[in-house]
Structure 1
Amino acid sequence: MNKQIIHDALVLTAFTLVIGVILGAVYGITKAPIDKANEQTKKEAYQAVFADASGFNQQEYDADAADKMVADAGYDDTIDDVEQAVDKDGNALGYVITVTAKDGSQGSITFSVGIKNDGTVNGYSITDISETPGLGMKAEEEDFYSQFENKTVDKFTVVKQKPASDDQIEAITGSTITSKAMANGCNAAIYYFQNALGGAQ
Protein backbone atom coordinates (compact mmCIF):
# COMPACT_ATOMS: atom_id res chain seq x y z
CA MET A 1 0.00 0.00 0.00
CA ASN A 2 2.80 2.40 1.00
CA LYS A 3 4.77 1.50 -2.14
CA GLN A 4 1.73 2.36 -4.27
CA ILE A 5 1.35 5.73 -2.54
CA ILE A 6 5.07 6.50 -3.05
CA HIS A 7 4.83 5.41 -6.69
CA ASP A 8 1.80 7.62 -7.31
CA ALA A 9 3.47 10.57 -5.57
CA LEU A 10 6.60 10.18 -7.71
CA VAL A 11 4.54 9.98 -10.90
CA LEU A 12 2.58 13.08 -9.91
CA THR A 13 5.79 14.96 -9.05
CA ALA A 14 7.39 13.99 -12.36
CA PHE A 15 4.22 15.01 -14.23
CA THR A 16 4.17 18.37 -12.43
CA LEU A 17 7.82 19.00 -13.24
CA VAL A 18 7.30 18.21 -16.93
CA ILE A 19 4.26 20.50 -17.12
CA GLY A 20 6.25 23.23 -15.37
CA VAL A 21 9.09 22.92 -17.89
CA ILE A 22 6.64 23.04 -20.81
CA LEU A 23 4.83 26.09 -19.41
CA GLY A 24 8.15 27.81 -18.79
CA ALA A 25 9.25 27.15 -22.36
CA VAL A 26 5.95 28.44 -23.76
CA TYR A 27 6.22 31.58 -21.62
CA GLY A 28 9.77 32.15 -22.82
CA ILE A 29 8.69 31.82 -26.45
CA THR A 30 5.59 34.01 -26.19
CA LYS A 31 6.82 36.71 -23.76
CA ALA A 32 8.85 38.72 -26.27
CA PRO A 33 6.10 38.91 -28.94
CA ILE A 34 3.50 39.83 -26.29
CA ASP A 35 5.74 42.52 -24.83
CA LYS A 36 6.40 43.87 -28.31
CA ALA A 37 2.68 43.97 -29.12
CA ASN A 38 1.90 45.72 -25.81
CA GLU A 39 4.62 48.29 -26.44
CA GLN A 40 3.25 48.94 -29.93
CA THR A 41 -0.26 49.40 -28.51
CA LYS A 42 1.05 51.98 -26.04
CA LYS A 43 2.95 53.88 -28.74
CA GLU A 44 -0.16 53.97 -30.93
CA ALA A 45 -2.14 55.37 -27.98
CA TYR A 46 0.48 58.08 -27.42
CA GLN A 47 0.41 59.06 -31.08
CA ALA A 48 -3.39 59.09 -31.11
CA VAL A 49 -3.47 61.79 -28.43
CA PHE A 50 -0.46 63.69 -29.76
CA ALA A 51 -0.60 63.38 -33.55
CA ASP A 52 1.93 66.18 -34.08
CA ALA A 53 4.57 64.66 -31.82
CA SER A 54 7.69 63.12 -33.33
CA GLY A 55 8.63 61.18 -30.24
CA PHE A 56 7.88 60.43 -26.61
CA ASN A 57 10.32 60.46 -23.71
CA GLN A 58 9.41 58.40 -20.67
CA GLN A 59 9.51 60.47 -17.49
CA GLU A 60 10.69 59.19 -14.13
CA TYR A 61 8.06 59.59 -11.44
CA ASP A 62 7.08 58.16 -8.07
CA ALA A 63 4.09 55.92 -8.85
CA ASP A 64 3.04 55.55 -5.21
CA ALA A 65 3.18 59.31 -4.64
CA ALA A 66 1.27 59.91 -7.88
CA ASP A 67 -1.47 57.47 -6.91
CA LYS A 68 -1.74 59.03 -3.46
CA MET A 69 -1.95 62.49 -4.98
CA VAL A 70 -4.91 61.64 -7.20
CA ALA A 71 -6.54 59.54 -4.47
CA ASP A 72 -6.35 62.49 -2.06
CA ALA A 73 -8.08 64.55 -4.75
CA GLY A 74 -10.93 62.03 -4.78
CA TYR A 75 -10.11 59.96 -7.86
CA ASP A 76 -10.19 56.15 -7.88
CA ASP A 77 -7.45 55.92 -10.50
CA THR A 78 -3.75 55.11 -10.80
CA ILE A 79 -1.07 56.92 -12.79
CA ASP A 80 0.62 54.18 -14.81
CA ASP A 81 3.00 56.07 -17.09
CA VAL A 82 4.15 59.61 -17.89
CA GLU A 83 5.62 60.47 -21.28
CA GLN A 84 6.75 63.85 -22.57
CA ALA A 85 5.70 64.49 -26.17
CA VAL A 86 8.34 66.24 -28.27
CA ASP A 87 8.54 67.64 -31.80
CA LYS A 88 11.22 66.78 -34.40
CA ASP A 89 13.64 69.24 -32.79
CA GLY A 90 13.16 67.80 -29.33
CA ASN A 91 11.02 70.66 -28.06
CA ALA A 92 8.45 69.66 -25.44
CA LEU A 93 4.82 69.79 -26.62
CA GLY A 94 3.17 68.42 -23.50
CA TYR A 95 2.56 65.13 -21.76
CA VAL A 96 0.84 61.81 -22.26
CA ILE A 97 -0.38 60.49 -18.93
CA THR A 98 -1.61 56.90 -18.83
CA VAL A 99 -4.20 56.17 -16.17
CA THR A 100 -6.20 53.17 -15.03
CA ALA A 101 -9.72 54.01 -13.94
CA LYS A 102 -10.82 51.50 -11.30
CA ASP A 103 -14.49 52.53 -11.36
CA GLY A 104 -15.70 51.15 -14.70
CA SER A 105 -18.93 49.16 -14.68
CA GLN A 106 -17.22 45.87 -15.60
CA GLY A 107 -13.71 46.47 -14.35
CA SER A 108 -10.70 48.70 -14.81
CA ILE A 109 -10.14 50.81 -17.93
CA THR A 110 -6.64 51.84 -18.99
CA PHE A 111 -6.16 54.79 -21.32
CA SER A 112 -3.70 57.52 -22.24
CA VAL A 113 -4.56 61.21 -21.99
CA GLY A 114 -2.73 63.86 -24.02
CA ILE A 115 -2.31 67.30 -22.44
CA LYS A 116 -0.51 70.17 -24.18
CA ASN A 117 1.86 72.52 -22.35
CA ASP A 118 -0.88 75.15 -22.24
CA GLY A 119 -3.23 72.73 -20.46
CA THR A 120 -5.38 71.83 -23.46
CA VAL A 121 -6.59 68.23 -23.36
CA ASN A 122 -6.05 66.60 -26.74
CA GLY A 123 -8.25 63.62 -25.84
CA TYR A 124 -7.76 60.04 -24.74
CA SER A 125 -6.93 56.68 -26.30
CA ILE A 126 -8.01 53.42 -24.65
CA THR A 127 -5.57 50.51 -24.43
CA ASP A 128 -7.55 48.13 -22.19
CA ILE A 129 -11.31 47.98 -21.64
CA SER A 130 -13.90 45.26 -20.93
CA GLU A 131 -17.12 47.24 -20.59
CA THR A 132 -20.52 46.00 -21.80
CA PRO A 133 -20.78 45.77 -25.62
CA GLY A 134 -23.21 48.30 -27.02
CA LEU A 135 -23.10 50.32 -23.80
CA GLY A 136 -19.85 51.04 -21.97
CA MET A 137 -17.78 50.00 -24.99
CA LYS A 138 -19.11 53.14 -26.69
CA ALA A 139 -16.37 54.94 -24.78
CA GLU A 140 -14.20 53.87 -27.73
CA GLU A 141 -16.51 55.58 -30.23
CA GLU A 142 -15.88 59.05 -31.64
CA ASP A 143 -19.30 60.38 -30.62
CA PHE A 144 -18.23 60.05 -27.00
CA TYR A 145 -14.45 60.48 -26.94
CA SER A 146 -14.53 63.57 -29.19
CA GLN A 147 -16.20 65.45 -26.34
CA PHE A 148 -12.86 65.42 -24.50
CA GLU A 149 -10.81 66.77 -27.40
CA ASN A 150 -9.31 70.26 -27.53
CA LYS A 151 -10.73 71.30 -24.18
CA THR A 152 -8.96 73.53 -21.66
CA VAL A 153 -10.68 72.78 -18.36
CA ASP A 154 -9.83 72.08 -14.75
CA LYS A 155 -12.08 69.01 -14.70
CA PHE A 156 -14.87 67.29 -16.62
CA THR A 157 -18.37 66.70 -15.31
CA VAL A 158 -20.75 64.09 -16.74
CA VAL A 159 -24.29 65.26 -17.52
CA LYS A 160 -27.31 63.49 -19.01
CA GLN A 161 -28.39 66.34 -21.26
CA LYS A 162 -26.69 68.25 -24.07
CA PRO A 163 -23.55 69.91 -22.64
CA ALA A 164 -23.83 73.62 -21.94
CA SER A 165 -20.07 74.23 -21.49
CA ASP A 166 -16.70 72.76 -22.43
CA ASP A 167 -16.31 71.03 -19.08
CA GLN A 168 -19.52 69.02 -19.46
CA ILE A 169 -19.57 65.56 -21.05
CA GLU A 170 -22.84 63.99 -22.19
CA ALA A 171 -23.08 60.49 -20.73
CA ILE A 172 -23.33 57.40 -22.89
CA THR A 173 -27.00 56.39 -22.84
CA GLY A 174 -27.45 53.56 -20.35
CA SER A 175 -23.82 53.72 -19.25
CA THR A 176 -23.34 56.60 -16.86
CA ILE A 177 -20.85 54.58 -14.78
CA THR A 178 -18.47 54.11 -17.71
CA SER A 179 -18.90 57.74 -18.71
CA LYS A 180 -17.96 58.89 -15.23
CA ALA A 181 -15.00 56.49 -15.12
CA MET A 182 -13.62 58.03 -18.32
CA ALA A 183 -14.21 61.58 -17.08
CA ASN A 184 -12.65 60.83 -13.70
CA GLY A 185 -9.62 59.25 -15.35
CA CYS A 186 -9.14 62.35 -17.49
CA ASN A 187 -9.62 64.51 -14.39
CA ALA A 188 -6.96 62.53 -12.54
CA ALA A 189 -4.56 63.10 -15.45
CA ILE A 190 -5.37 66.83 -15.50
CA TYR A 191 -4.90 67.06 -11.74
CA TYR A 192 -1.55 65.30 -11.93
CA PHE A 193 -0.47 67.55 -14.81
CA GLN A 194 -1.41 70.66 -12.87
CA ASN A 195 0.11 69.63 -9.54
CA ALA A 196 3.08 67.42 -10.39
CA LEU A 197 4.19 68.42 -13.89
CA GLY A 198 4.11 72.19 -13.58
CA GLY A 199 0.68 72.81 -15.06
CA ALA A 200 -0.11 75.14 -17.94
CA GLN A 201 2.78 77.21 -19.24
Structure 2
Amino acid sequence: MNKKIVHDALILTAFTLVIGLILGIVYGITKGPIDEANKKAAQTAYQAVFADASTFEAYTDFDAAQAEELMTENGYSDEIDDVQVAEDASGNPLGYVITVTAKDGSQANITFSVGIANDGTVNGYSITSISETPGLGDKAKTEEFSGQFAGKQVDAFSVVKSAPASDSEIEAISGATITSKAMTNGVNACITYFQNVLEGGAN
Protein backbone atom coordinates (compact mmCIF):
# COMPACT_ATOMS: atom_id res chain seq x y z
CA MET A 1 0.00 0.00 0.00
CA ASN A 2 2.77 2.41 0.97
CA LYS A 3 4.70 1.56 -2.20
CA LYS A 4 1.64 2.41 -4.29
CA ILE A 5 1.22 5.75 -2.53
CA VAL A 6 4.88 6.58 -3.12
CA HIS A 7 4.61 5.47 -6.75
CA ASP A 8 1.52 7.58 -7.34
CA ALA A 9 3.13 10.55 -5.61
CA LEU A 10 6.22 10.27 -7.83
CA ILE A 11 4.07 10.12 -10.95
CA LEU A 12 2.07 13.14 -9.84
CA THR A 13 5.26 15.08 -9.05
CA ALA A 14 6.77 14.23 -12.44
CA PHE A 15 3.54 15.18 -14.17
CA THR A 16 3.46 18.50 -12.32
CA LEU A 17 7.08 19.25 -13.23
CA VAL A 18 6.45 18.51 -16.90
CA ILE A 19 3.33 20.68 -16.98
CA GLY A 20 5.25 23.48 -15.23
CA LEU A 21 8.07 23.20 -17.77
CA ILE A 22 5.62 23.33 -20.68
CA LEU A 23 3.83 26.37 -19.22
CA GLY A 24 7.19 28.09 -18.69
CA ILE A 25 8.17 27.48 -22.31
CA VAL A 26 4.79 28.72 -23.59
CA TYR A 27 5.06 31.83 -21.40
CA GLY A 28 8.54 32.53 -22.73
CA ILE A 29 7.33 32.22 -26.31
CA THR A 30 4.19 34.32 -25.90
CA LYS A 31 5.44 37.00 -23.50
CA GLY A 32 7.23 39.01 -26.17
CA PRO A 33 4.31 39.18 -28.61
CA ILE A 34 1.84 39.92 -25.81
CA ASP A 35 4.02 42.74 -24.45
CA GLU A 36 4.39 44.15 -27.95
CA ALA A 37 0.64 43.99 -28.56
CA ASN A 38 -0.05 45.75 -25.24
CA LYS A 39 2.51 48.43 -26.06
CA LYS A 40 0.96 48.98 -29.48
CA ALA A 41 -2.53 49.24 -27.96
CA ALA A 42 -1.27 51.79 -25.43
CA GLN A 43 0.42 53.89 -28.13
CA THR A 44 -2.78 53.84 -30.18
CA ALA A 45 -4.72 55.06 -27.15
CA TYR A 46 -2.19 57.83 -26.50
CA GLN A 47 -2.34 59.02 -30.11
CA ALA A 48 -6.14 58.97 -30.06
CA VAL A 49 -6.21 61.57 -27.27
CA PHE A 50 -3.22 63.58 -28.50
CA ALA A 51 -3.33 63.48 -32.30
CA ASP A 52 -0.86 66.35 -32.66
CA ALA A 53 1.82 64.70 -30.49
CA SER A 54 4.84 63.16 -32.16
CA THR A 55 6.13 61.16 -29.22
CA PHE A 56 5.10 60.02 -25.76
CA GLU A 57 7.60 59.77 -22.94
CA ALA A 58 7.00 58.24 -19.53
CA TYR A 59 6.54 60.84 -16.80
CA THR A 60 9.65 60.13 -14.76
CA ASP A 61 8.26 61.33 -11.42
CA PHE A 62 5.18 59.11 -11.51
CA ASP A 63 4.70 57.53 -8.09
CA ALA A 64 1.96 54.89 -7.93
CA ALA A 65 1.75 55.03 -4.14
CA GLN A 66 1.42 58.81 -4.20
CA ALA A 67 -1.25 58.57 -6.87
CA GLU A 68 -3.19 56.01 -4.83
CA GLU A 69 -3.03 58.24 -1.76
CA LEU A 70 -4.24 61.22 -3.77
CA MET A 71 -7.16 59.24 -5.16
CA THR A 72 -8.16 58.03 -1.70
CA GLU A 73 -7.94 61.54 -0.24
CA ASN A 74 -10.30 62.79 -2.94
CA GLY A 75 -12.80 59.96 -2.61
CA TYR A 76 -11.95 58.00 -5.77
CA SER A 77 -11.74 54.22 -6.03
CA ASP A 78 -10.07 54.64 -9.41
CA GLU A 79 -6.42 53.75 -9.92
CA ILE A 80 -3.94 55.88 -11.86
CA ASP A 81 -1.87 53.33 -13.79
CA ASP A 82 0.49 55.38 -15.92
CA VAL A 83 1.38 58.91 -17.00
CA GLN A 84 2.95 59.88 -20.32
CA VAL A 85 4.19 63.28 -21.47
CA ALA A 86 2.86 64.13 -24.94
CA GLU A 87 5.54 65.96 -26.95
CA ASP A 88 5.59 67.72 -30.31
CA ALA A 89 8.21 67.11 -33.00
CA SER A 90 10.64 69.46 -31.21
CA GLY A 91 10.27 67.70 -27.87
CA ASN A 92 8.11 70.40 -26.32
CA PRO A 93 5.47 69.07 -23.89
CA LEU A 94 1.91 69.53 -25.10
CA GLY A 95 0.29 67.93 -22.10
CA TYR A 96 -0.19 64.51 -20.55
CA VAL A 97 -1.86 61.19 -21.17
CA ILE A 98 -3.06 59.67 -17.92
CA THR A 99 -4.17 56.04 -17.90
CA VAL A 100 -6.76 55.17 -15.30
CA THR A 101 -8.65 52.06 -14.22
CA ALA A 102 -12.21 52.82 -13.16
CA LYS A 103 -13.28 50.21 -10.64
CA ASP A 104 -16.98 51.06 -10.47
CA GLY A 105 -18.19 49.83 -13.86
CA SER A 106 -21.38 47.78 -13.97
CA GLN A 107 -19.61 44.57 -15.07
CA ALA A 108 -15.89 44.95 -14.39
CA ASN A 109 -13.02 47.42 -14.29
CA ILE A 110 -12.62 49.79 -17.24
CA THR A 111 -9.16 50.97 -18.27
CA PHE A 112 -8.74 54.03 -20.48
CA SER A 113 -6.33 56.85 -21.28
CA VAL A 114 -7.26 60.52 -20.89
CA GLY A 115 -5.47 63.33 -22.71
CA ILE A 116 -5.14 66.62 -20.85
CA ALA A 117 -3.40 69.62 -22.43
CA ASN A 118 -1.05 71.87 -20.45
CA ASP A 119 -3.84 74.38 -19.85
CA GLY A 120 -6.11 71.71 -18.35
CA THR A 121 -8.30 71.14 -21.39
CA VAL A 122 -9.48 67.55 -21.68
CA ASN A 123 -8.85 66.21 -25.18
CA GLY A 124 -10.95 63.11 -24.64
CA TYR A 125 -10.35 59.49 -23.71
CA SER A 126 -9.52 56.19 -25.41
CA ILE A 127 -10.58 52.87 -23.89
CA THR A 128 -8.14 49.96 -23.82
CA SER A 129 -10.17 47.50 -21.72
CA ILE A 130 -13.94 47.32 -21.18
CA SER A 131 -16.41 44.51 -20.45
CA GLU A 132 -19.63 46.49 -20.11
CA THR A 133 -22.93 45.19 -21.49
CA PRO A 134 -23.02 45.16 -25.32
CA GLY A 135 -25.45 47.71 -26.68
CA LEU A 136 -25.59 49.54 -23.35
CA GLY A 137 -22.47 50.20 -21.29
CA ASP A 138 -20.11 49.53 -24.15
CA LYS A 139 -21.54 52.65 -25.82
CA ALA A 140 -18.93 54.41 -23.69
CA LYS A 141 -16.64 53.65 -26.64
CA THR A 142 -18.74 55.72 -29.03
CA GLU A 143 -17.98 59.27 -30.11
CA GLU A 144 -21.53 60.24 -29.12
CA PHE A 145 -20.67 59.72 -25.47
CA SER A 146 -16.90 60.19 -25.31
CA GLY A 147 -17.05 63.35 -27.44
CA GLN A 148 -18.86 65.14 -24.62
CA PHE A 149 -15.57 65.39 -22.68
CA ALA A 150 -13.41 66.70 -25.52
CA GLY A 151 -12.35 70.34 -25.56
CA LYS A 152 -13.68 71.01 -22.06
CA GLN A 153 -11.73 72.81 -19.34
CA VAL A 154 -13.49 72.13 -16.04
CA ASP A 155 -12.59 71.14 -12.48
CA ALA A 156 -14.89 68.11 -12.64
CA PHE A 157 -17.67 66.60 -14.71
CA SER A 158 -21.04 65.39 -13.46
CA VAL A 159 -23.54 63.00 -15.03
CA VAL A 160 -27.05 64.14 -15.93
CA LYS A 161 -29.96 62.28 -17.54
CA SER A 162 -31.07 65.15 -19.77
CA ALA A 163 -29.37 67.47 -22.23
CA PRO A 164 -26.30 69.11 -20.61
CA ALA A 165 -26.77 72.70 -19.50
CA SER A 166 -23.04 73.44 -19.09
CA ASP A 167 -19.60 72.18 -20.13
CA SER A 168 -19.28 70.29 -16.86
CA GLU A 169 -22.36 68.14 -17.47
CA ILE A 170 -22.23 64.80 -19.28
CA GLU A 171 -25.43 63.20 -20.55
CA ALA A 172 -25.65 59.58 -19.39
CA ILE A 173 -25.87 56.69 -21.80
CA SER A 174 -29.50 55.58 -21.85
CA GLY A 175 -29.85 52.46 -19.71
CA ALA A 176 -26.22 52.61 -18.58
CA THR A 177 -25.99 55.23 -15.86
CA ILE A 178 -23.51 53.16 -13.84
CA THR A 179 -21.09 52.94 -16.78
CA SER A 180 -21.57 56.65 -17.51
CA LYS A 181 -20.68 57.52 -13.93
CA ALA A 182 -17.70 55.14 -13.93
CA MET A 183 -16.26 56.79 -17.05
CA THR A 184 -16.94 60.27 -15.70
CA ASN A 185 -15.39 59.48 -12.33
CA GLY A 186 -12.34 58.10 -14.13
CA VAL A 187 -11.93 61.30 -16.13
CA ASN A 188 -12.41 63.34 -12.95
CA ALA A 189 -9.73 61.25 -11.23
CA CYS A 190 -7.33 62.13 -14.06
CA ILE A 191 -8.22 65.82 -13.79
CA THR A 192 -7.58 65.65 -10.04
CA TYR A 193 -4.19 64.03 -10.63
CA PHE A 194 -3.34 66.65 -13.24
CA GLN A 195 -4.34 69.56 -11.04
CA ASN A 196 -2.44 68.28 -8.00
CA VAL A 197 0.68 66.84 -9.61
CA LEU A 198 1.16 67.98 -13.20
CA GLU A 199 -0.44 71.41 -13.65
CA GLY A 200 2.08 74.14 -14.31
CA GLY A 201 4.28 72.13 -16.62
CA ALA A 202 5.82 69.46 -14.37
CA ASN A 203 7.86 66.91 -16.34
- The equivalent residue for 1:95 is 96
Structure 2 counterparts to residues 1-201 of structure 1, below 5 A: 1-60=1-60, 61-199=62-200
Code of the aligned partner of 1:129: I
Runs (4 or more) in structure 1 with deviation over 6 Å come to: none
The structural deviation recorded for 1:102 is 0.6
Cα RMSD, aligned residues only: 1.2
C-alpha distance in 1 between matches for 2:76 and 2:40: 28
Q: Deviations over 1:36-92 (max 9, x none)?
A: 000000000000000000001101211111111022111111110011100000111
Checking the alignment, whether the CA contact within 8 Å between 2:95 and 2:118 is kept in structure 1 is yes
Query: Which blocks of at least 5 consecutive residues in structure 2 are unaligned?
Result: none
C-alpha distance in 1 between matches for 2:68 and 2:122: 20
C-alpha distance in 1 between matches for 2:51 and 2:122: 13
Q: Choose 93-102 or 67-76, whichever is displaced more.
A: 67-76
TM-score w.r.t. structure 2 length?
0.97
Q: Choose 44-53 or 54-63, whichever is displaced more.
A: 54-63
C-alpha distance in 1 between matches for 2:200 and 2:76: 18
C-alpha distance in 2 between matches for 1:150 and 1:142: 13
The structural deviation recorded for 1:29 is 0.3
C-alpha distance in 2 between matches for 1:70 and 1:12: 47
The structural deviation recorded for 1:114 is 0.2
The structural deviation recorded for 1:98 is 0.5
C-alpha distance in 1 between matches for 2:99 and 2:84: 8
Checking the alignment, whether the CA contact within 8 Å between 2:49 and 2:123 is kept in structure 1 is yes
Query: Which blocks of at least 5 consecutive residues in structure 1 are unaligned?
Result: none
SS in 2 for 1:193: helix
Code of the aligned partner of 1:49: V
Q: Deviations over 1:138-189 (max 9, x none)?
A: 1001111111111111100000001111110000111101000000000000
TM-score w.r.t. structure 1 length?
0.98
Aligned length: 201
Using the aligned pairs only, state the percent identity. Answer: 68
The structural deviation recorded for 1:198 is 2.3
The structural deviation recorded for 1:200 is 7.9
